[in-house]
């Protein structure tokens, strides 16, 4: 069957067409097209996503993105069997553009409509790369808006067993990156800068820079990134103030200082996440860990999580970098499995910024 999917939960307008079928080994998923139109250049001017601008930009982009997805796949709406769309969570104005488009498309073409949760879609990106992957497994979602651990017992049952009590990991990357003067969004630039920093920054040395851990100091599987974020931002301000008797805004940190801060911050993030993952794997009976979301693109986190999985002798599945950020290929993969499970929406489908 062919699934047409739309994703517009934040600042990427995306459409994809997936060919999917069940076979004797499980499921064969073949991506026919995957178009992502990013608004990063627009929001970079403001240092973060401006919701009203995002929804307007989605409205302007969506028809062209969908047309491109059909052209790339070499098919027409008449070939499609079902429509999947992200309906939550995300920016409400952004979500509504995708949901309205998908409802109209499904109605005009008399197709079933499948409502997709954006977080579950991030996890489903792994099905596109690991054909043998199937629930149950443990999912670690690390994105701009979420940082959580889920027990995934079947294709549509996600039970949150831990999560952030305040900021998400990606939010912390972006805010620290902004204070350091890195291009928006800061995550990818911090990744590279930390790699420079790890050439000389050795976290095993007690006398080097250390920031607080985002792992809560208790036996839950929760995180808290706000203390870490504030500690790094305060450290940057103090360092700048020490360098000048004038206005700290005029001070540019030396590259080596920035690289050291990026490495120390990244070390805290990766160790904190690894600590809670280690606790989850020690306390549960899992064979596989799936890591997903924009921050799953982080090279240091990928290496650390892989080593924790190795220690527990469980398999590790993580999408390629191109499928970690927001895209509609993951929405299509999630939609396919929900379709098989009988999940459908009707014309009353609404968008939701948050879900229970």
Give residues in contact with ligand KG4 (CB under 6 A).
10, 143-145, 170, 173-174, 185-188, 190-191, 293-295, 297-298, 325-326
**Nearest distance in Å: CB 296, Zn ion:** 10
**Nearest distance in Å: CB 265, ligand KG4:** 10
Quick one: 152 or 295, whose CB is closer to ligand KG4? 295
- Taking CA 303 as the corner, what is the angle to CA 126 and CA 35, rounded to the nearest 5 degrees? 35
Sheet of 12-23: strand order equals 26-38, 12-23, 2-7, 82-88, 113-117
- Using CB distances below 5 to 8 A depending on partner kind, what does residue 161 bind out of Zn ion, ligand KG4, none? none
**Nearest distance in Å: CB 48, ligand KG4:** 10
Quick one: 54 or 82, whose CB is closer to ligand KG4? 54
268 binds Zn ion (CB under 5 A): no
Report the chain's C-alpha Rg in angstroms: 21
- Using CB distances below 5 to 8 A depending on partner kind, what does residue 295 bind out of ligand KG4, Zn ion, none? ligand KG4
**Nearest distance in Å: CB 262, ligand KG4:** 10
Q: Which residue is nearest to ligand KG4 (CB)?
A: 294
**Nearest distance in Å: CB 118, Zn ion:** 6
Rounded-to-integer distance, Cα 248 and Cα 164, Å: 32
356 to 117, 135, 160: CA distances (angstroms): 11, 22, 11
- Using CB distances below 5 to 8 A depending on partner kind, what does residue 2 bind out of ligand KG4, Zn ion, none? none
Q: Which of 326, 336, 337, 338 binds Zn ion (CB under 5 A)?
A: 326
Counting residues that bind Zn ion (by CB under 5 A) gives 2
The site map against Zn ion for 269-308 (x = CB under 5 A) is ----------------------------------------
Quick one: 10 or 29, whose CB is closer to ligand KG4? 10
**Nearest distance in Å: CB 8, ligand KG4:** 12
- Using CB distances below 5 to 8 A depending on partner kind, what does residue 345 bind out of ligand KG4, Zn ion, none? none
Residue of 100, 41, 102 lying closest to 69 (CA atoms): 102
143 binds Zn ion (CB under 5 A): yes
293 to 4, 212, 279, 327: CA distances (angstroms): 21, 23, 21, 10
Quick one: 260 or 326, whose CB is closer to Zn ion? 326
């Amino acid at each position: 069957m062919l699934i047409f999917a739309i994703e517009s939960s934040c600042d990427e307008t995306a459409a994809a067409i997936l060919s999917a079928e069940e076979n004797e080994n499980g499921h064969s998923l073949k991506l026919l097209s995957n178009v992502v139109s990013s608004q990063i250049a627009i929001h970079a001017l403001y240092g973060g996503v401006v919701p009203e601008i995002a929804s307007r930009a989605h409205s302007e982009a969506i028809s062209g993105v969908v047309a491109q997805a059909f052209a790339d796949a070499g098919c027409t709406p008449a070939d499609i069997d079902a429509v999947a769309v992200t309906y939550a969570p995300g920016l409400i104005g952004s979500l509504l553009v995708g949901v309205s488009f998908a409802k109209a498309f499904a109605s005009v073409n008399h197709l079933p409509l499948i409502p997709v949760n954006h977080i579950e879609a991030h996890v489903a990106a792994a099905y596109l790369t690991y054909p043998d992957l199937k629930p149950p497994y443990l999912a670690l979602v690390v994105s701009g808006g979420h940082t959580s651990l889920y027990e995934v017992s079947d294709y549509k049952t996600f039970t949150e067993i831990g999560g952030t009590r305040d900021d998400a990991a990606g939010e912390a990357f972006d805010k620290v990156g902004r204070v350091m003067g890195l291009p928006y969004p800061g995550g990818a630039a911090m990744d590279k800068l930390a790699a420079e920093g790890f050439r000389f920054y050795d976290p095993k040395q007690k006398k080097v820079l250390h920031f607080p851990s985002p792992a809560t100091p208790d036996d839950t599987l929760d995180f808290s990134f706000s203390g870490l974020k504030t500690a790094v931002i305060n450290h940057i301000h103090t360092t700048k103030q020490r360098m000048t008797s004038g206005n700290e805004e005029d001070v540019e940190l030396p590259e080596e200082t920035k690289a050291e801060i990026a490495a120390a911050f990244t070390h805290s993030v990766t160790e904190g996440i690894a600590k809670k993952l280690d606790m989850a794997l020690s306390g549960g009976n899992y064979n596989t860990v799936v890591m997903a979301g924009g921050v799953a693109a982080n090279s240091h986190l990928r290496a650390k999580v892989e080593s924790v999985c190795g220690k527990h002798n469980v398999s590790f599945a993580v999408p390629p970098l191109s499928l970690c950020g927001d895209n509609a290929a993951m929405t299509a993969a999630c939609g396919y499995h929900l379709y098989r499970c009988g999940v459908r929406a009707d014309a009353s489908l609404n968008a939701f910024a948050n879900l229970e």
